[in-house]
Amino acid sequence: MILKLPKFNKIRIRITLYFTILIVCVILIINSCTGVFFELQLVKQTNNVVRPKLNTIVRDIHQKLNVIRILCSQITKDREIFEILSQNRMSSTSIDLEKEQRRISFLIDNYKKGNELINSAILIDSRQNVLDFKRANEKQQQKIINNKDITEFMESSYFESFCTSDALFEAIEGEGDVKFNHTIYYFSKFLGANYENLGVLIIGIDANKFFEYTEIYCREIFDASYVVTGNDKVIYSSGPFDFISEVKSNSIKDNLFGLGKVMIIEGERYLIFEKYFSSNTDWRLIGLISYQKLIKDVKIITTFIYFIGIICIIAVSIVSSYIAKAITDPIIKINMALLKLESGEWPDPVKVNSEDELKSLVSGINKTIESLKKMIENIYKEETEKKQAEIKAVHFQLELLQSQINPHFIYNTLNTFSFLALKSGNEKLRELIQSFDRLLRSSISTESNFVTIEEELDLTQKYVEIQRCRYSNIYDIIYQVDKELLSYKIPKLILQPLVENALYHGIIPKGIEGIIKVEMLKQDDCIQVRVIDNGVGISENCISEILSGKRTKKTKGFSNIGLTNINDRLKLYFGDYYMLHIKSGIDGGTMIVFCIPYVN
């Protein structure tokens, strides 16, 4: 049996494959980003929760250490104890050891009464006598004096130290005594007035009570926790492995999102949190949290996303296959029709049931084939008629062009009139011809739809000068324009038709001398243009017709451009916000206002 692989040169298979690859990539990206994001958030939240609790634990231990130190300070400052130790150091004769043991034991017992943290307190003088009545037998005293931890402390330069040695516990508490099976010993040197060593005070601390709250807090948040001294001695531990040995055999990294330290222990990754105690104690609290346990909910979420992703991939594959089939079936039909046409046969019209672009495509193909069929049947007749029509059109264009007057002929004629006026000494007629020439050139020119405000004002003034020759002093025009605005652009032939409209429809019908005022005002975001006259005014109905475009009556002057045309051009160039606004009333004059943006 031969296994046939799918042909990827088919559009249907490619569409299905592309959609499937796309959804797989999207799911992988979303899952990766989601996993990293949630891990980051969990680590941040864990930091936010752990740090305050670390501070609480350290603060509790600090308070208890202060209690021990205060007790030790009270004992070392006791005058009677101080005198006994000083005499023992200075005396060269033998002392009554039993008496001093009883007295010292009595004094120290009074200090530690009511303190649940203290299991025991003994004093060793400078002659290495254990001044404690309960430990008066010679064998136990020798064990205490010969203990390695005590000897090292007495020979060291330290003034205080902590120890959790089992050998020290056995030496001080005695063999078989399991009453205080977890004891921390605090060593403190007893110094004289001249800082000479008078002895060593050893206080046994009940670690169970000392770390009572530490145990509660640590088990609540950590998988393992430790209190370690500066020389890496563990004085408290709560965890499944030896922390010191693990630290020595594993490296600690600081690269978990830059938010904490990480160490791999027995193949499992742990977050490490450290909190150092105060400067007068070299202890530090270390807590470990299993990273795998921390992110187990994230793994559940990512697994769920993968599960949803697989369902989506299956659904997308089915849907995309159906979509691809719906797209390719009409294309296959079209291809078969074209192949039949290529072979010299007229194919039947292609049918498709869809209501989309494919239907338009099929309809176009059918129409094309039908058109080809008709074209082939009538090709010679249509070609002849088409050529005849083209010849007639060319002749018509030539005749039309020949019938038009060349604008250059008009300009040359006006220049001739201007020369004759100058020759005859009629300066006013010459100025009139030049103004008309300027107006004509501007209206015919198609170089740009915009001119500067200065150019538009000059064009308007040329029109005014021409009209003055006809209507003499029937009107006057006033310009109020800020010089800073002259360089900005304005649509060509905007002001002149407005002035023309004010003259023909406002001033002239009034029959007496009138005033036309052109104002341009600077606004924050636009230039406001006003054309004001004191003519006969416009009715409200006419204003509504002009602004709505219903009034099509044109002006009878030079440009033949009405208010509706100007309004349409403003909205075309700048938008509806910049349309004309007309304020007028019968016999009350007219003010036409519009705005244009600042155009350089």
Sign of the torsion angle spanned by Cα atoms 53, 55, 61, 64: negative
Same domain membership, residue 343 and residue 270:
no
Identify which of 65, 63, 60 has the alpha carbon closest to the alpha carbon of residue 184.
65
* Residue 518, domain member (yes or no): yes
Amino acid, single-letter form, for residue 145:
I
Same domain membership, residue 329 and residue 245:
no
Strand order in the sheet with 590-596: 475-481, 514-522, 527-533, 590-596, 581-584
* Residue 442, domain member (yes or no): no
SS3 of residue 390 by DSSP: helix
Among residues 294, 317, 345, the one where a domain terminates is 294
> Is residue 480 within 8 Å of residue 452, measured between CB atoms?
no
Q: Determine the Cα–Cα distance for residues 186 and 161; give it in Å rounded to an integer.
A: 6
State the DSSP H helix or E strand holding residue 590, giving kind and residue range, or none if neither: strand 590-596
Same domain membership, residue 332 and residue 234:
no
Greatest extent of the chain over all pairs of C-alpha atoms, in Å: 155
* Residue 313, domain member (yes or no): no
Q: What is the pLDDT of residue 594?
A: 94
Q: What is the pLDDT of residue 555?
A: 52
Angle between helices 563-574 and 495-502 (to 10 degrees): 150
* Residue 359, domain member (yes or no): yes
Same domain membership, residue 500 and residue 367:
no
User: What's the distance, Cα to Cα, between the start and end of the chain in Å?
Assistant: 79
Q: What is the pLDDT of residue 408?
A: 46
Q: What is the pLDDT of residue 539?
A: 84
Q: What is the pLDDT of residue 533?
A: 92
* Residue 255, domain member (yes or no): yes
> Is residue 238 within 8 Å of residue 215, measured between CB atoms?
yes
The one-digit pLDDT tens for each residue of the chain (600 residues) are 444 444 455 666 777 777 778 777 877 787 777 767 777 777 777 778 788 888 888 888 888 888 888 888 888 888 888 888 887 777 655 567 778 888 888 888 888 887 888 888 888 888 888 888 777 677 888 888 888 888 888 888 888 888 877 777 877 777 554 444 578 888 888 887 777 888 888 888 888 888 888 888 888 888 888 888 777 777 788 877 776 666 655 555 554 555 567 777 777 778 888 888 875 677 888 888 887 777 776 667 777 777 777 887 787 777 777 777 777 777 777 777 777 777 767 777 776 666 666 666 677 777 777 777 777 777 767 676 666 655 554 443 444 344 344 454 455 455 555 555 665 665 666 666 666 666 666 655 556 778 899 988 988 888 888 787 777 778 889 999 988 999 999 988 889 889 988 888 888 888 888 899 999 999 989 999 999 999 888 888 888 888 776 665 555 555 546 788 888 888 878 888 888 999 988 878 899 999 999 988
Same domain membership, residue 194 and residue 85:
yes
Same domain membership, residue 137 and residue 242:
yes
Q: What is the pLDDT of residue 409?
A: 44
Domain extent for 563: 476-596
Q: Determine the Cα–Cα distance for residues 96 and 103; give it in Å rounded to an integer.
A: 11
Q: Determine the Cα–Cα distance for residues 185 and 206; give it in Å rounded to an integer.
A: 9
Same domain membership, residue 261 and residue 352:
no
Q: What is the pLDDT of residue 588?
A: 81
Q: What is the pLDDT of residue 243?
A: 66
Domain count, the chain: 3
Q: What is the pLDDT of residue 452?
A: 92
* Residue 430, domain member (yes or no): no
